Structure 1
Amino acid sequence: MEFSIGRPDVVRAVNQRWLLKFWQAHRGPHPVPRWQGVVVEKLSDRSANLSMLTVTGDGEAPRFQIRFNGSIIDKAYGSPDHRGKHLDEVMPALMRPDGLPPFTRAARDGCPIYTIHTIRDRDGRVVQYERLLLPFSGDGLRVDRVLVSSEFVCLDGAFDGDNIMHVQTAPPVLELAAKIEMAAA
């Protein structure tokens, strides 16, 4: 999968821009922010759209174990609880070819990754699925967690988000895959 190089302003959603600044502010002298320093209370009002994953395995094929999914993410995947499962077990097969490589890239490079996919709800309405992946580390160097922010936007207004990830009849259309380059802290 090819990733363009993007500036932080490529991110469209206001909440995701805030999270990108939050990530940058927590980097300090480290290439990757330490997750121990994150004040969870500051994220609580955004938690419905968030997931936290633990990176397991090494090398080119890490796996991502779900530690937390917010209510909007659970609704999109049609399950109240995926904790303990790996992302490749939960993500529908149609979505994996363009859905999993951004996670691997974020874990390998230690930089934010932003993607936009076009999907459809069960009534055929076009929905833009915007995802921001923010790597974190226990030691400030090696990525061992990924914070995910997901935004679903429909230009027609309301859409049916229930189980939207599993009602796809065709692979999502990848509109953008960008590695976000941040200025030094």
Structure 2
Amino acid sequence: MSAKRDVPLDESAPFLGTTIEVIRAIQQRDLLNKWLSLYTLHGRAPPFDDFKMECCDGECDSAVYYTVEIENGHPSFIIDSVGTRLAKAYGATGGGRELGNYLGAKLARVILPLYEECFRRKLPVYTVSRVQDRKGREVDFERLLLPFSNGERITRVVGSFETISLEGHFDLEKMMHERMPIDVVRAVIDKNLYFKPPSRIAAQDKIEFE
């Protein structure tokens, strides 16, 4: 079943299993391929220390790092750093804060389950949440969550966030607090969990142009 939907999902909708093909943003696909290359090597969610972000390519602007702590048997996600894009969308930085407290009760009710699913499944979670900016323009907020393990449980999560609007220009400022986001895609990447590098032209091959 496809994870792509044209209608909003209610909060109880299941996470559908799918492949990397559900992800639209090239940068997020590249991040997932990095994760998959490590997953292939370890046969599980990889160690965080093996994962390298390319900040020079703008990856860090849209990324957030979380440390996962266990409190009363439940995961708690502590924000280590907030990328500039996410901080602008939520209207505040959140370094050192627990995610639920950072989001507030209203947003935490719909967003925390996405992180909990990533923790529980030990697999990447991808969602598209539809929101509106201050002028009512629809914006798709694309979230990719990548889990990292110490071999026993998930200890870190890296989130990547992209925004796109068919209407072109939009106002990112405090966008996630203007109106409640509505999920239109909710997926777990649980199929074809291997990294296949793109085909490249061998150095000795000749290329002829007419």
Q: Same fold (TM over 0.5)?
A: yes
Q: Can you give the 5+ residue segments of structure 1 that lack an aligned partner in the other structure?
A: none
1:112 aligns with 2:124: yes
Whole-angstrom distance in 2 between the partners of 1:91 and 1:184: 31
TM-score where L is the length of structure 2? 0.80
Q: Can you give the 5+ residue segments of structure 2 that lack an aligned partner in the other structure?
A: 1-11, 195-210
CA contact under 8 A between 2:55 and 2:61: conserved in structure 1? Answer: no
1:15 aligns with 2:15: no
Q: Partner amino acid for 2:19? A: R
CA contact under 8 A between 2:34 and 2:51: conserved in structure 1? Answer: no
1:74 aligns with 2:87: yes
Alpha-carbon shift at residue 11 of structure 1 (Å): 0.8
Alignment match, 2:114? 102
Q: Partner amino acid for 2:178? A: V
Alpha-carbon shift at residue 92 of structure 1 (Å): 4.0
Alpha-carbon shift at residue 177 of structure 1 (Å): 0.7
Number of residue equivalences: 180
Q: In angstroms, what is the RMSD of aligned CA positions?
A: 1.7
Which ranges of 4 or more aligned residues in structure 1 deviate by more than 4 Å? Answer: none
User: Which of the residues 91, 96, 108 maps onto 1:84?
Assistant: 96
SS in 1 for 2:176: coil
Alignment match, 2:176? 165
CA contact under 8 A between 1:32 and 1:141: conserved in structure 2? Answer: no
Q: 1:44 to 1:70 in 2, by over 3 A?
A: farther
User: Which of the residues 33, 39, 44 maps onto 2:52?
Assistant: 39
Alpha-carbon shift at residue 102 of structure 1 (Å): 1.1
Alignment match, 1:176? 185
Which protein is bigger by CA-based radius of gyration? 2
Whole-angstrom distance in 2 between the partners of 1:83 and 1:44: 21
Alignment match, 1:144? 155
TM-score where L is the length of structure 1? 0.90
Alignment match, 1:134? 146
Whole-angstrom distance in 2 between the partners of 1:156 and 1:76: 18
CA contact under 8 A between 2:19 and 2:192: conserved in structure 1? Answer: no
Overall identity of the aligned pairs, in %: 32
Alpha-carbon shift at residue 183 of structure 1 (Å): 3.2
CA contact under 8 A between 1:53 and 1:66: conserved in structure 2? Answer: yes
